[in-house]
Structure 1
Amino acid sequence: MEDPFRILGLPRQFDLTPAEVTTAHLRAVSRLHPDRATDEVQRIQMVQEAAAVGAAKQRVAHDLTRAEELLKLLGARSFLSAPLAPAYLMETMEWRDAIEDACSHGDGAGRAELTVRIRQRRAEELATLAGAFRIAMPLAEGGLSQHPSSQSAMPATPDIHGAPSVMSSDLRTALQDAAAALVRLRYLDRMLDRLTGDP
């Protein structure tokens, strides 16, 4: 998929409100209505572009998929494969055991308490994710990834504009922090799905 931010005319940033995404989506689809086409070829093209706009909205509207898109655009998608910290893995295992126990015994109060705790942790992780992107995006946009000092240079990766560059250690650290928070959020969402009865 093409850059969903570009398709919607939105800035490449994590901090986007639902209203901003909806407004950008409506603005983009309004100019692509098939009734505005002058011929069949243009109508088909507008339908295809409208589908791309809809797909872009789906990727940008949700916090986690928006984060995935930013990591991909910054050449940092591989950071999602990094192992989780042992302390977080232990905490996750404890929560999973508590969730299974509460669910298998029909413990509504236990499920409610776990839901509150995990939602609180999710809010903290979302703040961590947003903070990491607030650090990373100016570094990527400002060209610091193109001119790092020799001692902090990291392997080459595309910059935000798709040009080959070398990633500064500050940018790399911020993107690793963002990726780690995103992975933790995925775990938390799966636990919340289990608590609320979603498959």
Structure 2
Amino acid sequence: MQHEPDHFELLGLSPGFAVDRDALDRAWREVQAKVHPDRHAAGSAQERRVAMQWASRANEAYRTLRSPLARARYLCERAGVDLQVETNTAMTPAFLMQQMEWREALDDARTARDSAALEALSAELAAARRRMIAEVGELLDHRHDYAAAAVRVREWMFIEKFSEEIDAAVDALAEQD
């Protein structure tokens, strides 16, 4: 049985959380230039189907590696660590406390219809996201501690989801004005 390349291999990139975005874009374009179905339009049905499959895999690899959160998840899973995002909600006690504070701040801002408080909360989450990116990068690329990274990735997923809630609250407040 032939080895299926992972996302990094497929795009000819070294595996790691830190990815040069320009190199990723170039690698994806190069792979697409070789496998794009239009290049195989005159080929047999099987050649066209294979080209379509490779183009689809290249697109999936690019989408995954382009997103820092998706890339972190992929690296954990690639290392054999199942994030168990549907069943494992374990987070550090400090993060759980932070989560409760953020939820309370969001509820207070909604109740008070305080757009400045919502913007401040959004800025606080953006800072938390930046810290999370740095920490996950350290855990994955330098410490190779995929289990600890998985915990932080689950927390990062909360940050992203909660950021969407804040954005929705900002939009709802703007619509009411």
Q: What is the TM-score of this pair, normalised by structure 1?
A: 0.74
CA RMSD of aligned residues (A): 2.2
The match for 1:67 among 63, 72, 77 is 72
Cα distance change on mapping 1:110 and 1:87 into 2, 3 Å: same
2:19 is the counterpart of 1:16: yes
Cross-structure match for 1:147: none
DSSP-derived class of the 2:80 partner:
coil
Cα distance change on mapping 1:182 and 1:135 into 2, 3 Å: same
**Which string of whole-angstrom CA distances, capped at 9 and with x for unpartnered residues, describes residues 6-32 of structure 1?**
222221111013222211111111001
Cross-structure match for 2:46: 41
Could you tell me the percent identity over the aligned residues? Answer: 23
Partner letter of residue 74 of structure 2?
A: E
Please list, as runs of the form range in 1=range in 2, the aligned pairs for 1:101-116 lying within 5 A after superposition.
101-116=108-123
| Contact persistence 1:34–1:43 (CA under 8 A) | yes
Cα distance change on mapping 1:3 and 1:71 into 2, 3 Å: same
Please list, as runs of the form range in 1=range in 2, the aligned pairs for 1:1-199 lying within 5 A after superposition.
3-37=6-40, 38-78=43-83, 81=88, 83-137=90-144, 174-197=145-168
| Aligned residue pairs, count | 163
Using the TM superposition, name which of 175-184 and 47-56 deviates more: 175-184
| Contact persistence 1:32–1:47 (CA under 8 A) | yes
Looking at structure 2, the residues matched to 48 and 74 of structure 1 have their Cα atoms a distance apart, in angstroms, of 25
DSSP-derived class of the 2:35 partner:
coil
Is the helix fraction higher in 1 or 2?
Answer: 2
| Contact persistence 1:79–1:176 (CA under 8 A) | no
Looking at structure 2, the residues matched to 124 and 34 of structure 1 have their Cα atoms a distance apart, in angstroms, of 41
Per-residue deviation, 1:92: 0.4
Per-residue deviation, 1:176: 2.3
Per-residue deviation, 1:136: 4.0
Per-residue deviation, 1:82: 6.9
Per-residue deviation, 1:83: 1.9
Cα distance change on mapping 1:11 and 1:102 into 2, 3 Å: same
Unaligned residue ranges in structure 2 (runs of 5+): 172-177
| Contact persistence 1:5–1:11 (CA under 8 A) | yes
Per-residue deviation, 1:56: 1.3
Q: What is the TM-score of this pair, normalised by structure 2?
A: 0.82
**Which string of whole-angstrom CA distances, capped at 9 and with x for unpartnered residues, describes residues 37-71 of structure 1?**
33332122111210111111111110111111111
**Which string of whole-angstrom CA distances, capped at 9 and with x for unpartnered residues, describes residues 132-182 of structure 1?**
112245xxxxxxxxxxxxxxxxxxxxxxxxxxxxxxxxxxxx222211221
Cα distance change on mapping 1:84 and 1:34 into 2, 3 Å: closer
| Contact persistence 2:76–2:147 (CA under 8 A) | no
